Amino acid sequence: MEEDIKIKLRNKIERIAKILIVAKESFLYSSYLHYPETKEESDYLNNSSHFKFIRHSLWRQSIIELSKLFSGPKSRDRFNINNFLVQLKVTTQVAGLAMI
């Protein structure tokens, strides 16, 4: 039983970590496309409707991924970090596991 709880917690943490990774990667790419290193890159990116669309889409993707973790009604809170921490505390207390 204790092993089942650990497996479920590990799986949930992995899903949350994947969301964080996608959010971070999307943000970093978007940030670079908004603030490139050289003036030539900036001129090219600002004159390309495709890159404007891509950088905006990446920004939106990072917001959407983060919203999965920090907001949403109870019916959609599968990845909400605050709810996960509460659930983790309750689960460890009920199962008698030591929190790390």
For residue range 26-50, list pLDDT tens digits in order: 999 999 999 999 999 999 999 999 9
pTM: 0.70
The more confidently predicted of residues 44 and 98 is 44
Per-residue CA distances from 7 to 3, 42, 60, 68 (Å): 6, 47, 32, 22
Instruction: Dihedral sign for Cα 58, 27, 13, 85, please.
Output: negative
Q: What is the pLDDT of residue 96?
A: 63
Instruction: Tell me the domain boundaries of the chain.
Output: 2-95
Q: Which residue has the tokens 């009920």?
A: 94
